[in-house]
Chains A and B, each alone.
Chain A
Amino acid sequence: MTSPVIDTPAAGAGAAARAADLWKVYGSGEAQVIALRGVSVELERGRFTAIMGPSGSGKSTLMHCMAGLDSATRGHLTIGDTALNGLGDAGLTRLRREKVGFIFQQFNLLPTLTAEENILLPLAIAGRKADPQWFQTVIDTVGLGDRLGHRPNQLSGGQQQRVACARALVSQPEVIFADEPTGNLDSRSGAEILSFLRRSVTEHGQTIVMVTHDANAASYADRVIFLADGQIVDELLEPTADAVLDRIKRLDVMSSPTARPDGPPGQRTVEDSPSATATGATE
């Protein structure tokens, strides 16, 4: 099986994270669901990449696999110069500790910790001290100076996400993965968060990968990758919101049944999150 090869600019030594021929298959037999079909992508250091696609396109699965949260069925994954394949739980834990930062859509903060303690949590877990100067810079960037002693339930949703951003930034990881970071926010708070992310890339050279379905959010990125049916189908550099919307419309046409030459009949794609396994684990 072949996959469309997307021309990736500046491929090579500058990659913060890389996926080569990545497959992700859930279940087997009748219930088999293919979430990713041979995706190859490189995320360059010091750039802000957005991953877009309709529901079920596999964009969250791609991010989870590249971040080491989910295992690949096949394919090669690296973060920095570390290969993810074959790393056990301890290895993946260390990788997350040292090289990866996360910003989730919600439930980003521990309710028992203050904002400052939440920000410093990854460093505390790793047994490292924060560089006071950098910590101050991060705090200034996200504008939380007077709220550091507050607990999450005393903060608004936007403030909570700013704390989450600060937490991801403070350990200066190889790459920050953000999963719909503005999905739960009003447009003004969302814009603030996106500006912080943009500035941390521009001013501090941080690498950020963001999954989103919001064209406006994607327009803050340097590069947008479009997924459909578990494959990368398009990409856009230096996007504007209009350009992104335009591409999405074209993709909708492409992914309609008549325009899908190689989809086996009866096969369906997964939702963004594998909810079947999620509910299984909570019981």
Chain B
Amino acid sequence: MIKASLRGLLQRKLRLSLAVFAIVLSVAFLAGSLVLSDTLNARFTALFSTINQNVSVVVQAKDPQAVEPARLTDAQLRALSEVDGVRAVSPDVSAQGVIPFRATDGEPVSADAALGFGVDGNDDPLGLVELREGRWPTAEGEVAITAHTAELAKVKRGEQLKVYLPVLNEPRTFTVVGVAGYSGGRDSLAGEVVVMFQQSFAQQTFYGATGLYGGASFAAEEGVSDDALKQRIAAQLPDGFKALTGQESSEEQSAQVGVLFDVFKYILIGFAVVAGVVGIFLIFNTFNIIVAQRTRELALLRALGAGWGQVAGSVLLEALVVSLVGATVGLAAGIGVAAAGEAAITSEVALPSAGLVVAPLTVILAYLLGVVVTLVAAFVPAVRASSVPPVAAMRDVVRPDKSLTALSIVGAVFALPGVGLVLFGAFADLGGTAFLVLLGGAVLVFIGALLLSPLLARPIVRGLGALVGRGSAGNLGVRNAARNPRRTAVTAAAIIIGVTVIGMTATVVQSFKTSLTDIMGDNIGVEVMIQASVTAAPDGRQGFNPKALEQVRAIPGVKEAAAWHFDALGVSVAGQPQAFGIFATDVGQAARMFPIDATDGTIRTLAAQELVLDDNIAETLKLKAGDRTPVVIGGVTRDYTVVGVYRATPLIQGILVGEPAVADFPGPLAFQGFVSLNDGVDAAPVVTQIETIMKDYPGVQVGDRQSYVDQATASYDFLLIAVQILLLVALVIALLGILNTLVLSIVERTRELGLVRAVGLSRGGLVWMVTVESVLITVFGVFLGLALGVGLGAAFTKALMTLEFATVIAIPWLELAQYLLAAVVAGVLAAVIPARMAARLNVLDAISYE
């Protein structure tokens, strides 16, 4: 029995190879994601192990992100360095965001990490950094830089270097007195820029006072283990500090950095999921058709005494072999994907090599995915195979198409409550929970629609067919597409899934963009925007100095310039943490530049300890004008008075305080600036002048109104592109599915093809017939997918409108038309091979009887 099914497998390898391909794709994405992530982690671990190579113990603040992180004093550092077993100490005085400017064009150097250190004029006691030329800085106006920094900033020893200092929030100019490198002759560890200052200057600048340290690294004496030293140091640690061994520190740091690359991991896992789900349909279809074609053979086995379990088992065994082959190839392809991904990432970021890491877990998960997907997909066909009656070996047993009634009822049971939930979520004012309701409803609708798709296949295909099915060949193609609605629906399922997701995303993104453009265009008097790009939660430590706006106000034609500060770190109002943070600005000025309608109290320039908020938040916090409420900003709690409540719009919402409150913010920098112009003033030259002013603040961008809209929607465009790539993956698999179905159908219909050829259909007619069938299946999938996607997208947008995130539902017709076109092209492509097969059939062979 096993031998028989394995031999059958070899004979059908051509047909099964497409099913294998679906498994390969899915497994490749999963394995690629895992291998890439492990490999990058290994590289980072290697990197930080290098940094900590001579380090036994690291002492650092428990919460380095705090507004006022803990610092070591001179006395504390001395006490720790006198701990028994310490051989050497390297104190840490450092800051991030210390950005040098290029000597040639004055632009800030762009690097993934830009660090500043304070050095005490002696060589690194831990031997990581080595001076290559010149000397260490010993005066305030001197710096040493790494060789990589010198290359990027295009400076040499003895030349001047302008450097942005994060806490001073302004650039200063220094003389480069030395160039350093790392042990082992490396110019950089991971492409970072490093500027080293005189230690007391660095302490004063970064920490606000001399004699303070952020932490320290310790080397142990011979014979003292890292753990033992850690225990001894930990016993003497001041509050707010923790001690780690060098190894622990490396692991912690590489884990933190590795998170940055997780986005690649999740995109690839997303692809794996889509490929897997879509693959299930493809494999299901393949096995179903193969079982239908093998009816006689299976019946013969049954007639010869095989039990139904053996017949079902033979199909499942076949599926298992297919899945193992697919998973193996997929694993290999995944390792290839990871190698390519690693090459792409490390061409941007120089990291020490640690080789490709293929963890045992990766291998296990890859095979698990392949086997589970295939067996799930092959289960129904296997059961169907086992129900072939032995008598089918002797004569054609008419197995009428099973009625679609039961399937459609189940579909309706899913779809109807789903539609109800979606409508409820869209129209009932549920606040944030609306999205959970919508998501649940969307999933139900989606499952229901897939189950109902066979019922819909016939009318939709015929309707669409009326448009393309001109001429008898086209008409035959239409009928072939409609003749087996289950097969058509399952084949189109891959497309339905992909297009639903893309249609939904495109609708929400388009609605959001249109809303924003409408609001920006109609209502505001702002012509130029200044915007800080952020790499962490904005809290006033990134952005630009609001004093710079005084220069902006001096530009001819500028009417007003407003600075907006933003703190999203640890803010709470009325005892409730505010994840969306708090804004500080001149609210009276804001009301002149933006449409802000008071619904309660007044909207005016605020004094200290006064706030205004939007109606949604006011309702959530149960606050009204005149109320007093505790507000925590920058760790300081004060009682604030609610001066007014305004109507939330997609443009302006949240809690606003006055400029005096900025003193409590963790940093003094403005996050955004808005500039209005006098009538008739051209924005472009003003933008250029403001750019010159803002040049000293790395990461601050200046643009006109449209560029602001573009920037605000950029992250949504990125989402859309990510989803479009996902669609492409689904479309490729769908294309294979259609190809598969068509090839199998052509084999089944050999006699019919011979007949139409005998009665005069030309080869071209036959090709057209197959193409029409293929395109109809594809377009059916796109049609259903777009209907679902746009409908669900509109529902999500409606919920966003309730929350004032959008004002209109906009349907992206252009994109929808493109997706439809892409589907037609895919349908034509999928038909190429089957159509050639059909056209090459010898008429005589096709009509000959066995």
Report A82-125 residues with CB < 8 Å from chain B CB. 89-90, 93-94, 96-98, 101-102, 104-113, 121-122, 124-125
Chain B: CB-nearest residue to A105: B849
Contact (Cβ within 8 A) B472 A281: no
Give A185 Cβ to nearest chain B Cβ, in Å. 15
B844 within 8 A of A: yes
B84 within 8 A of A: no
Residues of B within 8 A of A98 (CB): 760
Residues of B within 8 A of A277 (CB): 842, 845
Proximity string of chain B (473-485) to chain A, C-beta cutoff 8 Å, 1 when within and 0 when not: 1011001101100
Chain B: CB-nearest residue to A60: B848
A254 within 8 A of B: no
Residues of A within 8 A of B848 (CB): 273-275, 278
A69 within 8 A of B: yes
Contact (Cβ within 8 A) A96 B760: yes
CA distance A96 to B751 in the complex (A): 17
Give A56 Cβ to nearest chain B Cβ, in Å. 15
B392 within 8 A of A: no
Given A104-B755, A112-B479, A277-B842, the answer on whether A93 and B850 have CB atoms closer than 8 Å is: no
Contact (Cβ within 8 A) A281 B476: no
Chain A: CB-nearest residue to B760: A97
Chain B: CB-nearest residue to A109: B755
B762 within 8 A of A: yes
Give B86 Cβ to nearest chain A Cβ, in Å. 79
A282 within 8 A of B: yes
Residues of A within 8 A of B6 (CB): none
Residues of A within 8 A of B456 (CB): none
Given A107-B751, A107-B847, A127-B471, the answer on whether A121 and B756 have CB atoms closer than 8 Å is: yes
Contact (Cβ within 8 A) B472 A124: yes
CA distance A280 to B846 in the complex (A): 10
Q: Determine the interface band of chain B, counting residues with CB < 8 A from chain A.
A: 20 to 34
Residues of A within 8 A of B841 (CB): 281
B175 within 8 A of A: no
A126 within 8 A of B: yes
Residues of A within 8 A of B762 (CB): 89-90, 93-94
Chain B: CB-nearest residue to A279: B850
Report A230-283 residues with CB < 8 Å from chain B CB. 273-275, 277-283
Contact (Cβ within 8 A) A110 B756: yes
Contact (Cβ within 8 A) B844 A122: no
CA distance A121 to B482 in the complex (A): 18
Given A107-B752, A111-B483, the answer on whether A281 and B759 have CB atoms closer than 8 Å is: no
B247 within 8 A of A: no
Contact (Cβ within 8 A) B756 A281: no
Residues of B within 8 A of A127 (CB): 471-472
CA distance A282 to B746 in the complex (A): 9
CA distance A283 to B743 in the complex (A): 10
From B761, B765, B844, name the one whose CB has the most chain A CB atoms within 10 angstroms. Answer: B844
Report B570-611 residues with CB < 8 Å from chain A CB. none
B138 within 8 A of A: no
Residues of A within 8 A of B842 (CB): 277, 281
A47 within 8 A of B: no
Given A93-B757, A125-B760, A274-B848, the answer on whether A111 and B752 have CB atoms closer than 8 Å is: yes
Partner of A121, one of B472, B750, B845, B849: B472
From A104, A107, A108, A110, name the one whose CB has the most chain B CB atoms within 10 angstroms. Answer: A110
Given A108-B755, A110-B756, A278-B850, the answer on whether A125 and B845 have CB atoms closer than 8 Å is: no
Proximity string of chain A (51-84) to chain B, C-beta cutoff 8 Å, 1 when within and 0 when not: 0000000000000100001100000000000000
Chain A: CB-nearest residue to B479: A112
Residues of A within 8 A of B847 (CB): 69, 104, 107
A-B interface pairs (CB < 8 A), number: 93
Give B574 Cβ to nearest chain A Cβ, in Å. 70
Contact (Cβ within 8 A) A278 B759: no
CA distance A94 to B480 in the complex (A): 24
Residues of A within 8 A of B755 (CB): 104, 107-110
From B475, B752, B760, name the one whose CB has the most chain A CB atoms within 10 angstroms. Answer: B760
Residues of A within 8 A of B763 (CB): 89-90, 93
Contact (Cβ within 8 A) B483 A126: no
CA distance A117 to B761 in the complex (A): 15
Report B756-774 residues with CB < 8 Å from chain A CB. 756-763, 765
Contact (Cβ within 8 A) A275 B850: yes
Residues of B within 8 A of A70 (CB): 844
Partner of B760, one of A93, A279, A283: A93
A167 within 8 A of B: yes
Give A80 Cβ to nearest chain B Cβ, in Å. 15
Given A106-B849, A112-B479, the answer on whether A125 and B759 have CB atoms closer than 8 Å is: yes
Partner of B765, one of A125, A278, A279: A125
Give A34 Cβ to nearest chain B Cβ, in Å. 18
From A94, A96, A275, name the one whose CB has the most chain B CB atoms within 10 angstroms. Answer: A96
Report B475-503 residues with CB < 8 Å from chain A CB. 475-476, 479-480, 482-483
CA distance A125 to B755 in the complex (A): 12
Chain B: CB-nearest residue to A153: B398
B306 within 8 A of A: no
Report B720-769 residues with CB < 8 Å from chain A CB. 747, 750-752, 755-763, 765
CA distance A273 to B475 in the complex (A): 31
Given A110-B752, A111-B483, A113-B479, the answer on whether A280 and B845 have CB atoms closer than 8 Å is: yes
Chain B: CB-nearest residue to A183: B849
B843 within 8 A of A: yes
Residues of A within 8 A of B479 (CB): 110, 112-113
Contact (Cβ within 8 A) A125 B483: no
Contact (Cβ within 8 A) B750 A281: yes
Residues of B within 8 A of A279 (CB): 850
Contact (Cβ within 8 A) A125 B761: yes
Residues of B within 8 A of A275 (CB): 848, 850
Give B676 Cβ to nearest chain A Cβ, in Å. 69
CA distance A89 to B849 in the complex (A): 22
Chain A: CB-nearest residue to B473: A125
Proximity string of chain B (372-407) to chain A, C-beta cutoff 8 Å, 1 when within and 0 when not: 000000000000000000000000000000000000
Contact (Cβ within 8 A) A282 B844: no
Chain B: CB-nearest residue to A184: B849
Proximity string of chain A (119-163) to chain B, C-beta cutoff 8 Å, 1 when within and 0 when not: 001101111000000000000000000000000000000000000
CA distance A275 to B848 in the complex (A): 8
Residues of B within 8 A of A94 (CB): 760, 762
Chain A: CB-nearest residue to B754: A107
Residues of B within 8 A of A111 (CB): 483, 752
Chain A: CB-nearest residue to B471: A127
Residues of A within 8 A of B846 (CB): 281
CA distance A156 to B758 in the complex (A): 23
CA distance A93 to B764 in the complex (A): 11
Chain B: CB-nearest residue to A67: B758
Contact (Cβ within 8 A) B752 A102: no
Further contacts, 4 of them, CB under 8 A, given A97-B760, A282-B750: A101-B759, A107-B751, A122-B760, A281-B846
Ordered by A's residue number, 22 sampled pairs between the chains whose C-beta atoms are within 8 Å are A69-B843, A69-B847, A70-B844, A93-B760, A93-B762, A93-B763, A97-B760, A102-B758, A104-B755, A107-B752, A107-B755, A109-B755, A111-B483, A121-B759, A122-B759, A125-B473, A125-B759, A125-B760, A125-B761, A273-B849, A281-B842, A282-B750
List residues of chain A with CB under 8 Å of any chain B CB: 64, 69-70, 89-90, 93-94, 96-98, 101-102, 104-113, 121-122, 124-127, 167, 273-275, 277-283
Cβ-closest 3 pairs across A and B: A97-B760, A112-B479, A124-B472
